[in-house]
Amino acid sequence: MKLIYGTYNPSKLTSMIKMLDGLNIEITGISSVDFKLRESDESGKDPLANAVEKATTYFEQLNKPVFSCDTGLFFEGVEEEDQPGVLVKRIHGEDLSYREMVDYYSNLAAKYGGRLTAYYKNGICLYIDNDHIYKYDGEDLCSERFYIADKPHKRYREGFPLDTLSVDMETMKYYYDLEDEKSESLGIIPGFRDFFIRSLGDYLKTKSS
């Protein structure tokens, strides 16, 4: 099945294609669309609400199967004012650039002694048609716990700016310094693959009945 991923972020597109490798799914990003799409306000209070809002907005314009994801970043043991949640890029009402995000979160880690215990919570919505809308934000879409450090790694990847601050809790190494598949484990979450298997399986079953 051909699906449009509701993102302009090439790094996120590449990561999702990798997660779904081997499934009968062909994914393109909305940058492949030959006209400018209206974007959603993303005013939801959690990742799932924003994912649904985005997928609905894009489907209304494309009338083709589309899915959208949204992510919230959560820290353990911080003051409420320092909890980003879904406002990962929007700090105190201001939208930060990727580079500004690295500066902000490294300074926040320094405020709490040099590191923050963090995890990502994700929501996803697959909008195939008006009768087949699948949404999910289960625990298997959460990343593992990791540290956000106060000092950036020398490596930086546009699209995933906070990876440069991310440290594996078990080895105390930056993910960029891990030599095996674990170096990609923050972005590769099996729950996404399982979501598509369940959702498309249900869709095909209803279409054939």
Q: Is the dihedral of CA 147, 152, 157, 158 positive or negative?
A: positive
Q: 11 or 184: which carries more pLDDT confidence?
A: 11
In the chain, the percentage of residues whose pLDDT exceeds 70 is 96
Residue whose token pair is 């078990």: 170
Euclidean distance between CA atoms 35 and 147, whole angstroms:
40
Euclidean distance between CA atoms 56 and 123, whole angstroms:
14
| Confidence at residue 92, expressed as pLDDT on a 0 to 100 scale | 86
In the chain, the percentage of residues whose pLDDT exceeds 90 is 79
How sure is the predictor about 47, in pLDDT bands with cuts at 50, 70 and 90?
very high
Count how many domains the chain has.
1
| C-beta of residue 150 within 8 angstroms of C-beta of residue 130 | no
Backbone angles phi, psi at 6, to 5 degrees: -75, 65
CATH number for the domain spanning 172: value is: 3.90.950.10
The pLDDT tens digits of the residues spanning 68-114 come to 999 999 999 999 999 999 999 999 889 999 999 999 999 999 999 99
Q: Mean pLDDT, to the nearest integer, of 129-144?
A: 95
How sure is the predictor about 34, in pLDDT bands with cuts at 50, 70 and 90?
confident
Q: Mean pLDDT over all residues of the chain?
A: 92
How sure is the predictor about 49, in pLDDT bands with cuts at 50, 70 and 90?
very high
Q: How far, CA to CA in Å, does 138 sit from each of 17, 37, 121? A: 21, 29, 9
Euclidean distance between CA atoms 21 and 66, whole angstroms:
18
| Confidence at residue 187, expressed as pLDDT on a 0 to 100 scale | 59
pLDDT above 70 for 35: yes
Domain range for 192 is 2-208
What angle (nearest 5°) sits at the alpha carbon of residue 203, between those of residues 197 and 209? 130
Strands 146-149 and 166-167: antiparallel
Backbone angles phi, psi at 46, to 5 degrees: -145, 165
Tokens standing for 81? 């004012």
| Confidence at residue 139, expressed as pLDDT on a 0 to 100 scale | 94
User: How many other CB atoms are found less than 10 A from the CB of residue 116?
Assistant: 25
Q: Mean pLDDT, to the nearest integer, of 125-133?
A: 97
Q: What is the dihedral of CA 63, 193, 161, 165, to 10 degrees?
A: 160
How sure is the predictor about 184, in pLDDT bands with cuts at 50, 70 and 90?
low
User: How many other CB atoms are found less than 10 A from the CB of residue 8?
Assistant: 13
How sure is the predictor about 182, in pLDDT bands with cuts at 50, 70 and 90?
low
Q: Mean pLDDT, to the nearest integer, of 191-200?
A: 96
Euclidean distance between CA atoms 168 and 71, whole angstroms:
19
Counting Cβ atoms within 10 Å, is residue 96 exposed (0-12), middle (13-18) or buried (19+)? middle
